Amino acid sequence: MIYRSLPSHNSIDLFDKKIRFSTISSPDLLYAFYLYHVYHQDRIEKLTYQSKSRHVFDMEIIDGLYRGVFFTKGRNKAANIAPKHCEEFFLVRKNRVVYLDNFIIREEQGYIIENYDIGSDITFIVFQVTGSNKKTAPFGLEFLLLRGYNVIACNQNNNQYQELSYDDFQDIISPYVKNKKVFLYGSSLGGYCAVYYAGAVNGTAIAAAPRNSLHPALSLKQDSTFKHTELIDKELSTQPIYIFIDPHQSKDIYYLDNHILPAYPHSTVLRFEYAGHEVLTHISRTKQLSKILDAIVRNDKDFLNNIDRTKTSEFTYVERAIKHFDELRKDISHFNELKSRHISAEKKMLKLTEQLHALIEKLDI
């Protein structure tokens, strides 16, 4: 693992189990510092301008992704020094600071692609879910960084990734994953993207309940703006394809059977009954996600073949309840149908009886 360093004039380290910021001291400058945990924004601490170029924050350290900002300005107007600031993302992981090489690779109106590099030889390319936009926090970012993987985050702008073509993705991403072990990862729409773009970088796809609701096979809109070509018509990855899915989710199974398996018939499909469309969250709730991902990374087939799929989460109970009520609704519908038939038959019988009585009366005459 290569741990990157900050610009020489700034440093972040751990001091007495606290986070410490340091920078070059100058009698002409005042210093301010700002620190917060990216995914726990109640954990925030600020130090306003003062003369010390070093500060130890009181914040309790937990592993995770942090944002720090160094501010400087002239001590007085006579110094004629413009205010400056330097922003840094960094990890606290296993009692050490890990610096990130973070920058935007490409931004267009329809998407943004951002790099979070910690010097690993393994890179995860991640995709977001339906309804997300360019400002949405990248999918699984902190979780993957803490596991020691680089992350390239591809965020859409609420357009189902239709502005990011397969060819553009290949041209943009390829230079950043050269000589890397590459995994594409996402859930639902993100899972669809993981499989769709896998061939562009010859990566391993890890897709939970993959589907794109804008796809003509799934969309209710007649004027679909779906721009992606069919998966089977693209250059395919030679690496494994992993699918997490609930076999009782009809739309997910339809997309798997009709659009993924024809292109990747040898996909490893891990079925979790009654996990719902939120199968990835279910796996996380049952405390298996990190172990499964690590097993995929190291290609541990034995582990994957022995995953405990009987574990339950709140999603299991919800999905079982939904199925129960669906079956109950069908039973009620069937009962109502039988009742309707019975009433109809009863009416016919009454009519026939009336006709019979009328005929008898005529015969009596």
Report DSSP letters for 324-345, one per residue. HHHHHHHHHHHHHHHHHHHHHH
pLDDT band at 4 (very low <50, low <70, confident <90, very high): very low
**What pLDDT, on a 0 to 100 scale, did the predictor assign at position 1?**
34
Nearest Cα to 58, choosing from 17, 94, 23, 95? 17
> CA 172, CA 282: separation in Å to the nearest integer?
33
Contacts of 131 (CB under 8 A, 6+ apart): 158
**What pLDDT, on a 0 to 100 scale, did the predictor assign at position 197?**
98
**What pLDDT, on a 0 to 100 scale, did the predictor assign at position 5?**
43
pLDDT (average), residues 207-227: 83
Domain 10-97 has CATH 2.40.128: no
CATH ID of 101-312, from 3.40.109.10, 3.90.320.10, 3.10.129.10, 3.40.50.1820: 3.40.50.1820
Nearest Cα to 246, choosing from 220, 205, 209? 209
pLDDT (tens digit per residue) in 119-157: 999 999 999 999 999 999 999 999 999 999 999 999 999
Q: Where are the domains of the chain?
A: 10-97, 101-312, 314-365
Quick one: DSSP state of residue 259?
A: I
**What pLDDT, on a 0 to 100 scale, did the predictor assign at position 332?**
62
- pTM of structure: 0.84
| Cα-based distances in Å from 235 to 6, 195, 219, 245, 260 | 40, 11, 25, 24, 13
| Cα-based distances in Å from 114 to 125, 126, 172, 319 | 10, 10, 11, 36
Q: Where are the alpha helices (DSSP H) in the chain?
A: 141-146, 166-173, 189-196, 198-201, 250-255, 279-285, 289-297, 301-305, 314-364
Structure tokens at 64: 């995770």
In this model, does residue 356 exceed pLDDT 50? Answer: yes
In this model, does residue 221 exceed pLDDT 50? Answer: yes
Say if strands 84-92 and 64-74 run parallel, antiparallel, or are unpaired: antiparallel
More reliable by pLDDT, 331 or 96: 96
> CA 277, CA 252: separation in Å to the nearest integer?
7
Long-range contacts formed by 35-42: CB under 8 A, 24+ apart: 35/59, 35/66, 35/67, 35/68, 35/69, 36/66, 36/67, 37/62, 37/64, 37/65, 37/66, 38/64, 38/65, 38/66, 38/67, 38/89, 38/137, 38/142, 39/64, 39/65, 39/137, 39/142, 40/64
**Percent of the chain whose predicted confidence (pLDDT) is above 70:** 85
**Which strands sit side by side in the sheet containing 150-156, from one edge to the other?**
101-108, 111-117, 150-156, 122-127, 181-187, 204-208, 241-245, 268-271
- 8 A C-beta contact, residue 197 and residue 166: yes
Structure tokens at 286: 């049952």
In this model, does residue 207 exceed pLDDT 70? Answer: yes
**Which strands sit side by side in the sheet containing 18-23, from one edge to the other?**
10-15, 18-23, 54-56
More reliable by pLDDT, 338 or 209: 209
Q: By three-state DSSP, how is residue 239 classified?
A: coil
pLDDT (tens digit per residue) in 271-296: 999 999 999 999 999 999 999 999 99
Q: Give the lowest-confidence range in 67-81, 156-170, 206-220, 310-324.
A: 310-324
**Which strands sit side by side in the sheet containing 40-50, from one edge to the other?**
40-50, 29-37, 64-74, 84-92, 97-99
> CA 53, CA 4: separation in Å to the nearest integer?
22
- 8 A C-beta contact, residue 215 and residue 226: yes
Nearest Cα to 189, choosing from 134, 236, 127? 127
**What pLDDT, on a 0 to 100 scale, did the predictor assign at position 158?**
96
In this model, does residue 88 exceed pLDDT 70? Answer: yes
Q: What is the mean pLDDT of the chain?
A: 89
pLDDT (average), residues 73-83: 82
In this model, does residue 165 exceed pLDDT 90? Answer: yes
In this model, does residue 347 exceed pLDDT 90? Answer: no
- 8 A C-beta contact, residue 168 and residue 143: no
- 8 A C-beta contact, residue 72 and residue 87: no
pLDDT (average), residues 47-75: 94
**How many other CB atoms are found less than 10 A from the CB of residue 17?**
8
